[in-house]
Amino acid sequence: MKLSTLKGLSPLLLAFATLLDKANLARADNPFVQTLFTADPAPIVHNDRIYVFTTHDEDGATTYNMKDWRLYSSSDMANWQDHGVMMSLATFSWANANAWAGQVIARNGKFYFYVPVRRNTGSMAIGVGVSDNITGPYRDALGRPLVDNNEIDPSVFIDDDGQAYLYWGNPGLAYVRLNQDMISYSGGINKVTLTTQGFGTRNGNAQRPTMYEEGPWLSKRGSTYYMTYAANCCSEDIRYSTGPSATGPWTYRGLVMATEGRSFTNHPAIIDYKGNSYFFYHNGALPGGNGYQRSVAVERFQYNSDGSIPTMRMTTAGPPQIGTLNPYVRQEAETMAFSSGLKTEVCSEGGMSVGFIENNDYIKLKGVAFNNGARSFTARVSSATSGGRIELRLGNVNGNLVGTCNVSGTGSWTNWTTINCSVNNASGTQDLFLKFVGGSGYLFNINWWQFSQ
């Protein structure tokens, strides 16, 4: 069903895209999700692909009214596929609110998702979702909390010796040693003593003398362990400490990202992928963005020669693309580097599709390798209205027109058909824009597309 209220922010997103075009910034790819508000990115590499789990800020929220977790993935750090909701509050029968920041890790041929939620009794606790597939669906692994701690922001890490750790904390910082089954722990809860030597000095707050605030992220490079975290409040910045083991002792090292943008919170994650290091965070950079409407973003960085993390700024460019996108294999329509106006939704044919498309909405695909040239374009579409057109443009949203596909009404949003059109002068490696044009209201949905040579 199409409900105009679900279109949400598309006029704002369209206005944002127009401003970018006018400012010659149409290549901007941060934040890398534009179809809804996301926060608290938690990346994991699996089968040579990077997956990023996020929380989801509801449109128009004035507090952290969050109900589900989302998943996005990429093989080139530029074009991201939307996998939709893979876990929600409904997964945990004992919880009723606060689908907040969590993290996924793989072990024993399964994927474990540690999340903070509010118990039906009113206190916060950490639950565990488990799935046989990284894309879910995730089910409650225990039927009860793993840790009943009334705190938030779990971060999970498996050391080289196989020992797994689960950290969390606001206002404190604590951890447990997880057992091999990843759904139990031994030795009780260990509270980290927050010292100024370990976590820096915060001025003007006697109750919080160190910079540590929340959102711990534990990682390792060589023999050094890195504890990256949201610091100070409010607004937050990102700081880090290092230690010789996964449990410290910690030594404060400095600033990773200063307070910036429209969100008064931030949430860090650091990971290596295909020989590069990446820093994930969130901001309020989308139209209407603020501390309760946040957006995930990512920067590539290099460690300094002494192993320290450089200070980074938020950018609109995002990281360089790794490789290219192949247009001659079927591409899911919900894969995009940037978009304007539209939304993604669960597809009646399975997976996700792109819908809520109105006149002049578009999808950008970055670094599409047409090579010697494409000759035709195929797409899977549906429309309960009179349809519209898909314009294939190169370079920018109003760039060289290389093909136009007409989309007719199919009778309903769930009645799908395959359309084709010819393509001319699409060669080399270029940014591709699928520009959607037509009359008023919603035009059509698109499930997937593919070029042919």
Contact predicate 387/404, CB 8 Å: no
Q: Is 332 a catalytic residue?
A: no
Q: Is 214 a catalytic residue?
A: yes
Rg of the Cα trace of the chain? Answer: 22
In this structure, is the dihedral angle defined by the CA atoms of residues 134, 226, 98 and 50, taken in order, positive or negative? negative
CA pair distance 194, 197, nearest whole angstrom? 8
Side chain identity at residue 141, one-letter code: A
CA pair distance 165, 247, nearest whole angstrom? 9
Partners of residue 205 on adjacent β-strands: none
3 state DSSP class of 181: coil
Question: Given 40, 82, 151, 358, which residue is catalytic?
Answer: 40
Closest CA to 252 of 213, 222, 210: 210
What distances in angstroms separate CA 44 from CA 41, 148, 271, one per listed residue?
10, 26, 8
Could you give the residue ranges of the DSSP H alpha helices within 176-234?
196-199
CA pair distance 236, 132, nearest whole angstrom? 36
What is the DSSP-derived secondary structure letter of residue 321?
P
CA pair distance 449, 279, nearest whole angstrom? 31
3 state DSSP class of 160: coil
Contact residues for 305 (Cβ-Cβ < 8 A; gap 6+): none
What is the DSSP-derived secondary structure letter of residue 6?
G
Contact predicate 250/243, CB 8 Å: yes
Question: Given 82, 151, 214, 237, which residue is catalytic?
Answer: 214
Contact residues for 56 (Cβ-Cβ < 8 A; gap 6+): 36, 37, 38, 39, 66, 67, 68, 69, 70, 85, 99
CA pair distance 226, 437, nearest whole angstrom? 49
What is the DSSP-derived secondary structure letter of residue 201?
B
Length of the chain: 453
CA pair distance 178, 188, nearest whole angstrom? 10
Contact predicate 256/266, CB 8 Å: no
CA pair distance 290, 37, nearest whole angstrom? 10
What is the DSSP-derived secondary structure letter of residue 235?
S
Write out the catalytic residue numbers: 40, 214
